Amino acid sequence: MSRQHAQSQPVASDADSYAELAVEALRRARLRITRPRRSILALLGQSTEALTATDIYESLRKRRVAVDQASVYRTLALLEEYGLAHKAGNRGGYVRCQRGAGGDGQLHMVCRRCDRVLAVDLPLTPVCTTEAAEHGFVPESCHVVLRGYCSRCAQLV
């Protein structure tokens, strides 16, 4: 995916590729790909907003996926551990993270008003590499969360 394209699209634009990449990452880690796990990845991939464990649990129940709340929490913790999702929303919601999909990292823009999240690939910037070099650190990826207002909400504040 080109940078240009990524910038103009919400998180949902490459939902399938996110789910596929995430499944692959879990497989490589020799983790089981259960139906609830797959469904959680699909939800995170499709959502343009941060999703709390409760949001996810309720959507899965509506779709008749057999899952309990504890395993939703466990799955989210697992995804966070593998860098596939993390907390970024205003209500403690999770967003998908797609490091390595087409860049060295991701930039998430989280709207303070509506909880919408936009993600774009983010290459390692000179600021990061220079700062890292000063500490003798060898960076592999970067990950930035910006808080502010989305294009719709910016007009209202």
Where on the chain is the footprint of Zn ion (CB under 5 A)? 97, 106, 111, 113-114, 116, 143, 150, 153
> In terms of CB distance, is 21 or 150 closer to Zn ion?
150
**Cα(47)–Cα(41) distance, rounded to whole angstroms?**
10
Contacts of 157 (CB under 8 A, 6+ apart): 113, 149
Cβ 82 to Zn ion, closest distance in Å? Answer: 12
Q: State both tokens at 92.
A: 């403690």
Cβ 153 to Zn ion, closest distance in Å? Answer: 3
> In terms of CB distance, is 53 or 122 closer to Zn ion?
122
Cβ 108 to Zn ion, closest distance in Å? Answer: 5
> In terms of CB distance, is 74 or 113 closer to Zn ion?
113
* Burial annotation 122-137 (CB, 10 A radius, 16+ → b, else e): beeeeebeeeeeeeee
> In terms of CB distance, is 65 or 101 closer to Zn ion?
101
H-helix or E-strand spanning residue 35: helix 35-46
Is 47 in contact with 10 (CB distance < 8 Å)? no
Cβ 75 to Zn ion, closest distance in Å? Answer: 17
Cβ 63 to Zn ion, closest distance in Å? Answer: 25
> In terms of CB distance, is 52 or 67 closer to Zn ion?
52
Is 89 in contact with 115 (CB distance < 8 Å)? yes
Phi, psi of 39 (to 5 degrees): -65, -40
